[in-house]
C-alpha cells in the first residue's frame, strides 16, 4: 500500500543535541516537502525538493537542513536543537504540479528541553 512514513512520532531531547527526523514515501513521488506546524497556527513550508539532489528553502526560515539522495527518502536534520525548535514537523509528497494532492505523513512532535 502506498504511504508516507515519519519517524519518530514523538521526540523529547535536550538542548544542543543533533537530531534527524526521517520521512519516507512509497508512492514514487518526485516532489517532497517539510512543514512546521505550531498549535493553532497554519503550516509553514520550511523545505522542499523537486527530486533527487534537489533541495530548496521554504517560506519560513529554518535552521534545519535536508537532503534528497533517494527519491523515497527526505530526512530533516537539526545540528544543535534548541527550545525554539519545539514544534510539530510534517512531511508531505506529491506527484507534480500545484493542482496535485499533497500526501502527508503523521508528523513528528518535537520537544526540546
Partner 1 sequence: AQSVTQLGSHVSVSEGALVLLRCNYSSSVPPYLFWYVQYPNQGLQLLLKYTSAATLVKGINGFEAEFKKSETSFHLTKPSAHMSDAAEYFCAVSDQRRRDDKIIFGKGTRLHILP
Q: How far apart are CA 113 and CA 111, in angstroms?
A: 6
How would you write 59-81 as a 3-class SS string?
A: CCCCCCEECCCECCECCEEECCC
Size of the site for partner 1 (CB under 8 A): 28
Is there binding between residue 56 and partner 1 (CB under 8 A)?
Answer: yes
Q: Which residue has the cell 512514513?
A: 5
Is there binding between residue 62 and partner 1 (CB under 8 A)?
Answer: no
Is there binding between residue 105 and partner 1 (CB under 8 A)?
Answer: yes
Q: Between 14 and 98, whose beta carbon lies closer to partner 1?
A: 98
Q: Smallest gap, in angstroms, from Cβ of residue 90 to partner 1?
A: 6
How would you class 66 by CB atoms within 10 Å of its CB: exposed for 0-12, middle for 13-18, buried for 19 or more?
buried
Q: Hey, what's the cell of 37?
A: 506546524
Scanning residues 9 to 48, which ones bind partner 1 (CB under 8 A)?
9, 31, 40-43, 45, 48
Among 22, 55, 86, 107, binds partner 1 (CB under 8 A): 107
Q: Smallest gap, in angstroms, from Cβ of residue 39 to partner 1?
A: 10
Amino acid at each position: 500500500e502506498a504511504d508516507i512514513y515519519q519517524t519518530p512520532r514523538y521526540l523529547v531531547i535536550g538542548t544542543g543535541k543533533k537530531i534527524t527526523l526521517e520521512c519516507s514515501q512509497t508512492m514514487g513521488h518526485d516532489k517532497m516537502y517539510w512543514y512546521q506546524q505550531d498549535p493553532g497556527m497554519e503550516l509553514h513550508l520550511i523545505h522542499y525538493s523537486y527530486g533527487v539532489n534537489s533541495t530548496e528553502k521554504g517560506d519560513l526560515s529554518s535552521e534545519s537542513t535536508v537532503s534528497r539522495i533517494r527519491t523515497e527518502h527526505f530526512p530533516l536534520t537539526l545540528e544543535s536543537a534548541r527550545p525554539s525548535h519545539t514544534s510539530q514537523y510534517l512531511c508531505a509528497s506529491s506527484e507534480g504540479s500545484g493542482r496535485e494532492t499533497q500526501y502527508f505523513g503523521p508528523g513528528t512532535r518535537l520537544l526540546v528541553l
